[in-house]
A and B are shown apart, each in its own frame.
Chain A
Amino acid sequence: MSSRPKNRGIGVGLRPPHHDTFLRAPPSSVSWVEVISENFMPWADGDFRRGIATLLQIRDQCPVALHGVSANLGSADALDVTYLQSLKKLVDIIQPCSVSDHLAWTGVNGTNTHDLLPLPYTEECLENIVRKIDQMQNFLGCQIALENPSSYVEFKHAAMSEPEFLIEVVRRSDCNILLDINNVYVSSVNHQFDPKAYLRMLPKDRIDQIHLAGHSVKDAYLIDTHDAAICAEVWDLFRWYVAQFGAGSVMIERDGNIPTWSEMERELATIRDIHAKIT
């Protein structure tokens, strides 16, 4: 099952306002798209919704990555088998170029908060998430990638930093990393650490893809909202990362205030410019 990530080029988080653009013909500026798995998975009744036909049409023209937000891998709860069965149905029908979820938990005791909650980076927590990633990869029959989340709290009893924890998760579970550079930046401001030091630590051969996104600025902290353009600081961090470690698969996520496709093209052009300068 284990394999090293391939460079898929530049992609985008495909959202409904841009479906028609992709149904007509995928823009030449992107070579793959990513969708939120839960938006296309069969519902609790076991049936796919109408959107699956759209996704299948797009998949026929462009590789699709599946990005989940509710696997709840970091939770003390056991993995939700119904959820996994639904995800597997989607994976089987779409044959994605990548399957991912988050280094987080979304709920416990059967509740789902629909948010990426922070983990205490302890050995107990590490063993729990590694066991569940292993179960998920075996169930799906493919390697998954795990995304570093934005976070707003850190726990006093943590035994490791987030990159140390992530590296150990990758080593023990043989999963890959979905590196969200915006999330590294947001957390670095919220927790006052050096984002470049964080990025230097990660095993570059395990980076499945990079996410870039916008965030909201509050009084003294940042919130990962995906509803704004990518800010200068995140572009600078991405530029530095690419100069240091080279280009790989990268995509732009936008979930709120979704702009027209031509505006998205401007951000995609910035990625191309950054890539061009190192080649």
Chain B
Amino acid sequence: MQKSLNFVAMQTAFQDAVLGKVAAEALVPLIVLKPPVTTKQRLAIYQDAYRIRLTESLEDDFNECAAVLGSEAMAKVVDKFIDTYPSTYRNLAEYSAKFPPFIAQLHPQVGELALREWLSILSLQGREPEDAVELNEIEGGTLYQLALHPASHVGQLGSGYFLSYRLHETPHFKTLSQGALQLLQIIKEEPTLADLTQQLQHDDASSTELAATIHDWLSMGIIYCKRCQK
């Protein structure tokens, strides 16, 4: 390597060394030598910090998977994930998003557990909507919309769909039928009750059944009602 690279080339080379794509020795000609700490030791501080941060974040978020797989097997998956997906997130908390499908490929027995752990985190962090109207506050003559609660999240694993939501400060997780998934997708668009009735007219399920599902979801906090803003 030349003693001086242009700015972009230098940063690319430095980052490649931090990510472990190239050996740290490649950067030695660029770094000031100040014994007793060697250049390799100095670069290793950055390499270690990168890997430790991502590893700790993943191991915190998926501690149940780690308990099932054992620490050695989990460490291997985490290492492989970090190598495959260098972080592009500004917030380290979002780095776990791609981990469930990744671990499901390597260890299918914990795929659903990983998805459950990740969706539970999302559900716990979802904010309370400021515009929610309680069912007993609904007034006649006012238009209302349904909306997905910010703590409710749908995840996919293979061909299966799962829902997590928060109830009484606890995350809950359930599999979704195709019908329930379709209904949630409609509610994600925040329909008015009239819109929803119209869209569901062609549905095979009886209106009584759908009304019961919507009522259940409202009472469990999966969805909520708000005054119409349309």
Contacts and interface: CB of A to CB of B under 8 A. Distances in A.
Contacts of B12: 108-109
Contact of B11 (A52, A75, A115, A152): A75
A86 B86 CA distance: 22
Interface string A89-122: 0000000000000000101111111110100101
A275 B18 CA distance: 41
B3 A156 contact: yes
Interface majority SS (helix, strand, loop, mixed), chain A: loop
Contact of B92 (A53, A114, A124): A114
Contacts of A223: 45
B127 A110 contact: no
Contact of B15 (A117, A155, A192): A117
B18 A115 contact: yes
Contacts of B11: 75-76, 105, 108, 117
Interface residues of A, number: 47
B31 A111 contact: no
Contact of B32 (A50, A76, A83, A155): A155
Nearest to A120: B10
Given A115-B18, A117-B46, 11 more contacts: A44-B89, A50-B151, A113-B18, A113-B87, A115-B53, A117-B18, A124-B6, A152-B46, A153-B43, A154-B31, A221-B42
B199 interface: no
B156 interface: no
B46 A154 contact: no
Nearest to A38: B91
Interface in B7-22: 7-8, 10-12, 14-15, 18-19
